[in-house]
Structures are given as structure tokens and as C-alpha cells.
Amino acid sequence: MPEIKVTPLGAGQDVGRSCILVSIGGKNIMLDCGMHMGYNDDRRFPDFSYITQNGRLTEFLDCVIISHFHLDHCGALPYMSEMVGYDGPIYMTHPTKAICPILLEDFRKITVDKKGETNFFTSQMIKDCMKKVVPLNLHQTVQVDDELEIKAYYAGHVLGAAMVQIKVGSESVVYTGDYNMTPDRHLGAAWIDKCRPDVLISESTYATTIRDSKRCRERDFLKKVHETVERGGKVLIPVFALGRAQELCILLETFWERMNLKAPIYFSTGLTEKANHYYKLFITWTNQKIRKTFVQRNMFEFKHIKAFDRSYADNPGPMVVFATPGMLHAGQSLQIFKKWAGNEKNMVIMPGYCVQGTVGHKVLSGQKKLEMEGRTTLEVKLQVEYMSFSAHADAKGIMQLIRMAEPRNVLLVHGEAKKMEFLKDKIEQEFSVSCFMPANGETATIPTNPSVPVDISLSLLKREAALGGPLPDPKRPRTMHATLIMKDSSLRLVCPEQALKELGLNEHQLRFTCRVQLQDPHSDPDTLNRIYSHLKSVLKGYTVQHLPDGTVMVESIVLKVSSSAEEPNTKVVLLSWSYQDEDLGSFLSSLLRKGLPP
Amino acid sequence: MKLYCLSGHPTLPCNVLKFKSTTIMLDCGLDTTAVLHFLPLPLVHSPRLSKLPGWVSKDGTISLEKELKECAGRVFVDSLPEFCPPERELVDLSTIDVILISNYHCMMALPYITEHTGFTGTVYATEPTLQIGRLLMEELVAFMERVPKAQSATCWKNKEIQRLLPGPLKEAVEVWTWRRCYSMQEVNSALSKVQLVGYSQKVELFGAVQVTPLSSGYALGSSNWIIQSHYEKVSYVSGSSLLTTHPQPMDQSSLKNSDVLILTGLTQIPTANPDGMLGEFCSNLAMTIRAGGNVLVPCYSSGVIYDLLECLYQFIDSANLASTPLYFISPVANSSLEFSQIFAEWLCQNKQSKVYLPEPPFPHAELIQTNKLKHYPGIYGDFSNEFRQPCVVFTGHPSLRFGDVVHFMELWGKSSLNTVIFTEPDFSYLDALAPYQPLAMKCVYCPIDTRLNFHQVAKLLKEVQPLHVVCPEQYTQPPPTQSHRSDLMLELQPPPMPYRRCSVLGLPFRRRYERIQLLPELAKSLVPAEIKPGISVATVSAVLQTKDNKHVLQPPPKPAPAPPSKKRKRVIEEPPELMSPKPLLSGALPLEPFLSLLHKHGIMEVKVEDTPDGHILHLQAEDTLIQLEEDSTHIVCDNNEALRATLRDLVLRFLQKL
């Protein structure tokens, strides 16, 4: 029986280093190729030796698809393609293709230049890797080869994020990447049509959370920022350069404008300006409102938000700073955090998910003393706030997507095992579909039951449709008879006569003739008449005809009556039928043998 | 399968395809050449135009002084300009299921089709097509509504009167179908019916037909369309280009193996080379500016203007014209320039890669930033204050009948220092200039039409090999003005099927097959038998289910177990259910093996008699005859039903069932 196999190399009952292998209809596809933020050793990257022990991956993979530019979805890409070795196509959307290399380069700089790691991919490798990228447009059907096709859907989450449908023959898989089912200030909501995939591979970051209204969260956020700034404190908001950063910038920008606030807002330099430029050029990927008004006012041209300089961190007075990266695990956000952590007037707002092992995660879990590099400890006095602004679907959103796509099976990745367990039960209950949640390295095998496409001759189809009447009768379904001709790889369904003709075969006529003797003291025509009325009354729903040439016809079976002059009361009824009428013919002969009713 | 042709204009087509119970409109182009018969609509009062004499027939019997004016020997209608929309009588427009749009120039008649006609279908177009098409419509409406003109001339349309008018008004056809411009409300309503599609997106129509837009290389978001079922394929080629300008290159390979290829939108100026024209454009522009004159470029607000600006971006520095201001005046100038920068996915590779840097794909961003190019919504307001001469003005409408261009023609027409350069190929420049005569201004004709020429089309068709080609009749003969140029027409084998306005063509292919799905349970139950080497057959008895034009074969329902009936005795009285016949049989019944099989079943006494066509077997003990021939078997058995059934089954063992 055909089956689809799904093996997560990363993101199986975990968040980070998303990398999922799918085998479908003889094709192998890698979905995402991310790195893990919580590790600095080998575990940082997916274990590609699962695919092959020795050498390059090209011959084992038909294609690689990257859902969006977050490093936990694309961070291992140059390592995989250039250091392990893969030369096949890598698919991603245009914005992802534009932004992904910049984030990779940034990541490389932090790892190699600052932390001094060796055995890491180089700038050139990033460039070489990006040369293998084929851009993907929304809803475009891309034919990877003759059998494998992929199609991208809008996923919200970040600029250019996509869900992908992978299809081989009549089997299909949808991989959601990260998605958001509620539109926000700059992105639209994820959408997919009722494509009924065999498997829906969904993220489940917020598997158990049902978030309150976004408006409340935003008001909360603004209130906290405002209060801190009012009392002269500094607010640090660690973000990734692209994504939530733009969302929160738009939020603060409009708030500052409305409240006429003067405290400076900074955005840590480097990526930012460039980042906003990408948003301007890829405005078609943002939400409807921004797209509609961009000619009059481009939402990504900020008036109140200025570039940050390292020296500003020591300036007196209130300020708000957006700094990268988002989980406080390195870079500028961590530096500023170290400077400001000692003052209780200050505040850090974590607007997104933090992976285990990062400073962000520790701070959020309430640690007041942090061990830093070089055995120093850092006392955390500033206020810590967590506010979920990450654009992931919550439990309600995940259920909503399942309802939209109507999958036959669901498979959860990109979430914590316990929460997944809960969601899995809920999905199985509500949709009565199987739900899988394989761990990393574990394979989920999902049987599929594809129907077989066949070419039916139009004349046969039309004839059947006409016989079936304008509306099918569910109580008395018509059975259709046809011949399936299998030649090479083609399957054709034709009516039997045509099949004979096409195959150059002659029909073999099989006929039966039966003489039944009846005792009936009437003249021959009268006997025939009596037979006629008898059959007419028994065979309801059949055509029974009394023909002028002295025969009775039931459908295509002919009955004749004769008698000999010697025994005029012994009638011989002659029946003759072909094999096609066997059921009826056999019935008639048995019926007549029992004689006529008086 | 039929094709109804609602427009006779080869580059502004409007055809309706009926295919597998769907009705698909291919483009709805608006023939705007009718406006050339009208007087220009000036933005400010023009004494010259208002003083034109009214027209009176030579014998003085007919006088339409109010409706018709004479200028330099030609007669013009003094009324709000009118357009010639697609034919409305040939097809009931309310039955149209979908409209496929190929590019923003070919959708300008949309409100005439979708509004007030009972149309309830969907329009499919790419995002740039929709956005830029909307801009062009908005512009058209703004041009018309800015200068309200109450008068609507209709008397001249009377057949008896039109007959007496001088040419070219006399030759104008379908004048009764001409319509005024639509309103913005109608535009919005029409465009609300558009559903966006991306290149290579497979769109299912009612489960019966699949349509797919393909890049056509002519304009931002321009597409050709594939309309196909599992077995038939129609390609619709409209406005395609093989030149490398700004749009994504044309997708040619997907057009292969079409049963029918409908070919429209070839170049209107087959003798002009776009590159050469671009060079001429630049040199004329430079010459005029250097001599202290102004340059007027009547153009559409999107399309070739992007290429012209890009060309000038490189040219002005080298020609020492960097200080000459470039003005782009249109109600939608700003939007057009802004929109062009956000459609990276729809641009050629070269421009696409700029976005990755990130830089705007078109250099006009830099022209605007450095103040070399300025754009204004109209001649009033800021423009009149900031306007410096000599300058280059890009403005519409290219017909010179309405829009800001009318003002510049009146303003600059009197001086021979100035030049008007025609780049748009849609209108004859002599006709466009007619109501401005006498004119001192220099006129240069550099039409830039990047669409396929006959040479390129011949090569394309050779490559994609369609079985049949359908095209406007204009393409099947050389242009009337160059009747000796047999290279300026389509010569194909088999010859293309020409169409004209109001033609109805039967497209030459027969559908033979349809796709059906066998449910896995049914497929598993089939027993294939090899009839010939490599060919197997299986009899299928199944229930056909058709839903949303998709056909599925299910296993027949299992007969319900007979209820424990009290009338058991009567069971035999019940006639068999009316069922479809048994399978057909094929093969031959070999005598010897059959005899030995009979023997095995206890039938020993068989007398074989040879006949010319076979044998007759007498089963003497059973008083039964079996007549064997090559293609038939006849069993004559009178009173032994059990024996007859046995014999039947034995015979069937040798035969194949179909």
C-alpha cells in the first residue's frame, strides 16, 4: 500500500532547527533547514548523517524547500548545501531569498568573528548556496520534475513566509512552516484552500495557548512602555531585525504620534534600515491596508524611530531601544541588557518565544542571577515582561487551518512534546483524523489510499450519464459495465464492444435454445396470448411485446409457440436467448416449465 | 467547442470560448480608435477649437452645425468622445462564467461587460494587471470627467446622414454601438469581480477545465493563458514579447502540444524595430532640447514609459541634458511610478536581483530622487508654478483627444522649435494630429511596439507545434498599405483559421476521453487478464458517481441480505432484477479440449459431426445439441436446466469476458 513517510531531523517535539524529511510517491523532500538557537555545539544543526553516512545529499533529495527566513528554519542551509553537499534546487519565496542571506551572514559574523569559532560556513558559501535557490511565487505551481509539483500559500508570520503543498500524483502533503491566522498591523492572515492533503504538517508553538485579543496585548504593551518612559526608565525590546520588529515599530510610531511623546526610540543599526527597505519593496506581501495606502504613505518610513549608536546606551534619561537578536543570546541586545539590568527603573520586554538555554529564556523563567561568560554573574533588577507578539497561530488558529485544508492526517512539529500531546488529542477528537507527533529521528509512516485515475471513453460516460437520469437515485444505484484496457502505462475504460474492436477480437456468440412443453387446450395463438398476459403480469418493469408475426418478445428474448397436428394440446414453446440475457432466459424457461395459470 | 469573436481589433481582442460546458471570455479589449473621429477635449477654453465652422453638406440640405465641425478639410464630432466596446448581441453576456485577462491594455472594456449585463462570473487577472489596469481606467475616467461636456451628438449616426458625410467619418462602422466612458463607480464594481492569480497557477473551473496564466513578456503581469482538460489544450496567446525589456520573459515551452492556439496581439508596426525607434526617440529629443524647444511625448501612464525613462536615465548624462526637466503628468503618474517598483516577482531577472540588494528595480526612482523627473497629477497647481522650459513632458492620452496632452498641443503647436514624438503604436499619428492642423510643431513618429512580429511568431509556432491556429483575419494577408510584403502575414500549414468581428468558429477537435477515478477498493477487486502480450483487460462493474464535474467509480453496493422472508416459496417467482447485460465474450472453443472437459464432467457419449463452419456435438444420453463455430456456440437443451447451466459454465471457461 502506498504510504507517506515523515521524519523530523529537527523540530520533532521541539522548537528550533526545523528540518523535516518527507518521502512521498518515491520523492524525497527536505522541508526547512534550520539551526538551533539553544546550542553551540554539533546539536546546533540537524543531523544530516541520517540521510546518508558518507558524502553528498544531492542524489537522496529531490528538492529542499525553505518556508521563511528565520534562522531556525534556514540557518543550516549553507552548511547543508556547501559543507555536507547538495546541488539540487532549493525553493523559497522572493522576500525569503532576499532576506535570508543577510541574516545568514549576520549569524556567521556573530559566530565566527565574535565567538571565534572555526569550521563554520563562510561568506562565499552563503553566496554559493543562494545560487541554488529558485524563487517561488504565491500560488504558482512549480514543476520540480515530471511528477513532483509544489505550490506556495501565504502564511503571515513574517514577510515572505509561505506554506507549501507538495504533490505527487494524487498524494499530497502540506507543510505550514510558521504561520499566523490573525492579520496584524503589517501582515495578512495565513490562507489555504480546501486542498485535502493526505498529511498536514503543522507547527504547534502555541499548541495549548488561546491568546486573548490582540488589542488588549497591544494596549498592555503600550501602557508598560509609556509608564517606564514616564518615570525616566529605559525600555529594551530584544527583537529579530525583521518580523516582529516592524510590527512593534508601527505600533510605537503611531502611539508616539498620537500621544505626542518626545522620548527617543532607537533601532539598533545595521540591518534595520535595510530591513525597512525590503518591506517597502515587497509591499505586496504585507496586509491589505498597507498595500492600499502605500502610494500616499509608506508605513515603513518611520518618523520617530532613529538609528541607534552604541554610545547612546549610556545616555541619561528615558529611551526605547529595539535591539537584535531577539532571545538575548548574543550581540547588541545582550550588551545593552548587561548595561541596564542593574537598574529597577528599566524594563526589558520580550515580545517573542525564547528557546531553552538562551539568556532570554533564563530571564523569563525568573532567574535573578545570571552566570555570564568569564564566570561573572549578572544581577537582574530591571523589570522583565513577556508579551507574546510572535506571529504564530494559537490553538484556535491551528484548528482553524485544519478546518480550512481538511487533511486526512495531521502531523505536529515545532512545539513542546507535552503541549503537542494535548493538541493531538483535541485534533483527533474534533476532526476524527489521525494525528502524529514524531520525535527527531523518528519516522511517522502514514498509509495513503489513492484512487486510480483512468481514461474513460466519452461516449461511454455520456451514455451512462444519460441512462442514470438527471438525478442519481441513491437507493437504486445503476451498475455500469465496462472494460478496462491496460496497455503500457495507460489505463482506458471503454464499453465492451469498443474493447473488442480495439483489440481486434471477434465476439463469440453464446446462445441457448430451449423447448418447453406445455399442456394447454387452446389454439396456438391463444396459448401465445395467454403466455403474453402471464409474462406481462409477472415481469413488471420489463418490456414484454406481442409481435404481429406470432412471437412474444421479452426484452430481446424471442418466444414461439407451435404444436403438432397429432397432439394439438401439447404446445412447444421455443425460447432462444444469448448469453447476455442469461439471467432472464434462465428465469423464463423455469417459469414456463411450471405451466400457465388457469 | 466554439469561439465567438466579439472584437475585430487584432490587438484589443475579445473572444468567447465555449469548452466543456464552460463559457470563457478571453480578454475584453476596448477599441478606442473611435475617439479619433471626435474633437479634442481642451482643459482650458480653446478659442481655436470653438471657432471651427460647423459642417453643412455641399448642397446645403443637411446641416449639423452643432454636432459636426470642420477642421483642415476633415469633419469631427463635437461631443464627449466615445469608444467602440465589444459586440453585445452575439453572446448572452450573463452566461459568461469567467473572463481571463491577458494584460492591462486588454481589460479596458471590462465595465461594459460586467456591469448592467447580468454578468455573475469571475474575472481572473494577475496583480500587476489589476493594479495598473485600475490606474489606466481611473485615468480615463478622470480625463473625461474633468471637462464635462453636456452635448451628446447622435444625429450624425443616422444611417441616411452618415452616408452623406465625408470620410473617414463616412466609413466608421458600428457607430450605434459606440458608448461613452464608464464611471468610476462602474470601474470599482467591475474590478471587485477580479480574482488574483499568479503565473503557472492552476485554476480549476467547475472541475471541468483548468486555466493557467503564463508569463507573456510584454508588460508587467501580462499573461498568455492555457485552457485545458486532461485531454484537450487550447493556448491563448495575446500580446507577447520576446524582447528583453522590464517584464519577466515569455514562457514559451508551456504552449507546446496545443490542439488549438488562438493568436492575437502581434505588433502593430511590423516594419519598425523597437531598438532603432528608441535611438531615434533619443536623438530627436536631444536635437529639439538643444535648439531650445520642448518635447511632448503622448503616452500611456504605464508600460513603455518605464523603458523610455530608463533609456533617458542613461542618455541624458551622456548627451549633456541632465539639467533638462522631465515631467510626467497624469492623475495616476505617482501611483504608476510607485507601483512599478513593488512588483519584483513580475520583473526580468536583472531587475529582480536589484530588489535583493535592496534597491528599487527601476532607475526612475533615482531620477525622482535627484529631481530630474517630476510628476504631477495635472497641469493645474504645483506644475504651473514649477514648470521650466525647455523640457520633456510625458502625458496622455496618446489619441490626443483628451487628457493634459491636449493643452500642450494647443500651447506648443504653433512653434516649430517644439517636437511631438509619438511612441505609442495604437493610433495613426496623422489621424491623431488632424484636428490640430495647421501645425508648426515638428512631428516625429517612433512607434515602439515590443509585441511579436511575424518572423518571431513563425519561429514560435514552429517550436510549439499547435495542431490548429486561430487568428484575426488581418494576420492572414499583408497590411493593406504594403500589399506586396508577403512576409508581413502568417503562412502556416494547415492555414490559420481567420476570424473577424461577429465570427463564430467551430474549433476542430473532438473530445474522446474523460478522466475518471477508480476508488481504491474497486481497483483492488479487478481481475486483469492478459489478452495479448502487454495488453491486459479487466471487466469493471461499478457505480458511476459524478459530482462537480468529477467522475468516480465506486464498487457496486453489496446486495442486501435477503430478509428471512415467509414467502420463501415465491422467491422463484420473482423475476431477476433488471440488470445490465453480462459481459461480452471473445475467443474460440477448441474441440478436443472441450470434449475432454465434457468427459471429465461425466458426459461420455458425444457424437461429433463436422459441418462447413465447425462441428455439431450430440450429447446423446442427454438429448442435447451443441453447435460449435469459430465465433459462436449454440446450446440446445430442452428440459434439463442443471445440465444447461453446467454446459454454460464449461463453455465459459474457454472464453474471455469483456
Tens of pLDDT along A306-318?
888 888 888 999 9
Question: What stretch of H or E contains B19?
Answer: strand B15-19
Residue of higher predicted confidence among A546 and A62: A62
Q: In the annotation, is A567 catalytic?
A: no
Residue type, A464: E
Of B552, B575, B631, the CB nearest to A508: B631
CA B70/CA B51 separation, integer angstroms: 10
Q: Residue B564: pLDDT band by 50, 70, 90 thresholds?
A: low
Residue in the structure block whose three cell numbers are 490548429:
B468
Query: Which tens digits make up the pLDDT trace of A415-448?
Result: 999 999 999 999 999 999 999 999 999 999 999 9
Q: Residue A566: pLDDT band by 50, 70, 90 thresholds?
A: confident
Residue of higher predicted confidence among B57 and B524: B524
pLDDT for res B330: 97
Q: What is the mean pLDDT of residues A555-568?
A: 82
- In chain B, what is the greatest distance between 2 CA atoms, to the nearest angstrom? 123
Which residues of B are less than 8 Å from A516 in CB distance? 638-639
> In terms of C-beta distances under 8 Å and separation of at least 24 residues, what long-range contacts does B488-496 make, across chains too?
B488/B270, B488/B271, B488/B454, B489/B454, B490/B263, B490/B454, B490/B457, B490/B458, B491/B458, B492/B461, B494/B468, B496/B263, B496/B468, B496/B469, B496/B470, B496/B471
Model confidence at A524: pLDDT above 90: no
CA B321/CA A213 separation, integer angstroms: 58
Residue A225 distance to chain B (closest CA, Å): 32
Residue A137 distance to chain B (closest CA, Å): 7
φ/ψ of A370, rounded to 5, equals -115, 135
**How deeply is B178 buried, as exposed, middle or buried, from its count of CB atoms within 10 A (0-12, 13-18, 19+)?**
buried
Say what the pTM is: 0.89
Average pLDDT, chain A: 88
pLDDT for res B60: 76
Question: Which residue, among B134, B143, B135, has the nearest Cα to B83 in the 3D structure?
Answer: B143
Model confidence at B655: pLDDT above 70: yes
Residue of higher predicted confidence among B531 and A453: A453
Average pLDDT, chain B: 90
Q: Report CA-CA distances (Å) from A95 to A78, A189, A281, A506.
A: 18, 17, 9, 64
Residue of A nearest to B652 (CA): A510
B511 reaches A (C-beta below 8 A): yes
CA A261/CA B221 separation, integer angstroms: 44
pLDDT for res A26: 93
Q: What is the mean pLDDT of residues B93-114?
A: 97
Q: What is the mean pLDDT of residues B245-255?
A: 94
pLDDT for res B570: 45
β-strands A544-547, A551-554 pairing? antiparallel
CA A15/CA A206 separation, integer angstroms: 11
pLDDT for res B569: 45
Residues in chain B: 658
Calculate what percentage of chain B has a pLDDT beyond 90.
63
Q: Is residue B543 a contact partner of residue A472, using CB atoms and an 8 Å limit?
A: no
β-strands A265-268, A319-323 pairing? parallel
Residue of A nearest to B553 (CA): A480
CA angle B381, B386, B390 (to 5 degrees): 125
pLDDT for res B573: 56
Model confidence at B61: pLDDT above 80: no
A584 reaches B (C-beta below 8 A): yes
Which residues of B are less than 8 Å from A480 in CB distance? 540-544, 553, 580
pLDDT for res B563: 55
B56 reaches A (C-beta below 8 A): no
Query: Which tens digits make up the pLDDT trace of A23-74?
Result: 999 999 999 999 987 787 888 899 999 999 878 899 999 999 999 999 999 9
pLDDT for res B568: 44
> Which of A91-100, B115-124, B147-156, B267-276 is least confident?
B147-156
Residue of B nearest to A298 (CA): B338
CA A335/CA A331 separation, integer angstroms: 6
β-strands A148-154, A141-143 pairing? antiparallel
Q: Can you name the residues that pair with A290 across neighbouring β-strands?
A: none
pLDDT for res A150: 97
Which residues of B are less than 8 Å from A512 in CB distance? 634-637, 644, 648
Q: What is the mean pLDDT of residues B542-562?
A: 81
Which residues of B are less than 8 Å from A294 in CB distance? 338, 342
Q: What is the mean pLDDT of residues A242-259?
A: 88
Q: Residue A206: pLDDT band by 50, 70, 90 thresholds?
A: confident
Q: Which of A82, A117, A149, A203 is catalytic?
A: A203
Model confidence at A271: pLDDT above 70: no
Model confidence at A585: pLDDT above 90: no
Query: Which tens digits make up the pLDDT trace of A483-501?
Result: 899 988 889 999 888 888 8
Q: Can you name the residues that pair with A454 across neighbouring β-strands?
A: B516
B153 reaches A (C-beta below 8 A): no
pLDDT for res A13: 94
Q: What is the rounded radius of gyration, in angstroms, for the C-alpha atoms of chain A?
A: 37
Reduce the DSSP state of residue B193 to 3 states and report it.
coil
Model confidence at B63: pLDDT above 80: no
Q: How many CB atoms lie within 10 A of CB A113?
A: 9
Q: Residue A504: pLDDT band by 50, 70, 90 thresholds?
A: confident
A112 reaches B (C-beta below 8 A): no
Query: Which tens digits make up the pLDDT trace of B402-439?
Result: 999 999 999 999 999 999 999 999 999 999 999 999 99
Residue in the structure block whose three cell numbers are 449454440:
B634
Q: Which residues make Cβ contacts (< 8 Å) with residue A578, sequence separation at least 6?
A: A509, A510, A511, A512, A556
Query: Which tens digits make up the pLDDT trace of B12-30?
Result: 999 999 998 899 999 999 9
Q: Residue A270: pLDDT band by 50, 70, 90 thresholds?
A: low
Q: What is the mean pLDDT of residues B394-406?
A: 95
Model confidence at A242: pLDDT above 80: no
pLDDT for res B567: 45
B650 reaches A (C-beta below 8 A): no
Q: What is the mean pLDDT of residues B267-293?
A: 94
Inter-chain touch A510–B572, beta carbons under 8 Å: no
Question: What stretch of H or E contains B611?
Answer: strand B606-611
Q: Residue B571: pLDDT band by 50, 70, 90 thresholds?
A: very low
pLDDT for res A469: 65
> Which of A79-88, A167-176, A558-567 is least confident?
A558-567
Number of inter-chain CB pairs under 8 A, A vs B: 264
Q: Residue B648: pLDDT band by 50, 70, 90 thresholds?
A: confident
Residue of higher predicted confidence among B244 and B280: B280
Give the range with max mean pLDDT: A99-108, A505-514, B92-101.
B92-101
A219 reaches B (C-beta below 8 A): no
**How deeply is B198 buried, as exposed, middle or buried, from its count of CB atoms within 10 A (0-12, 13-18, 19+)?**
buried
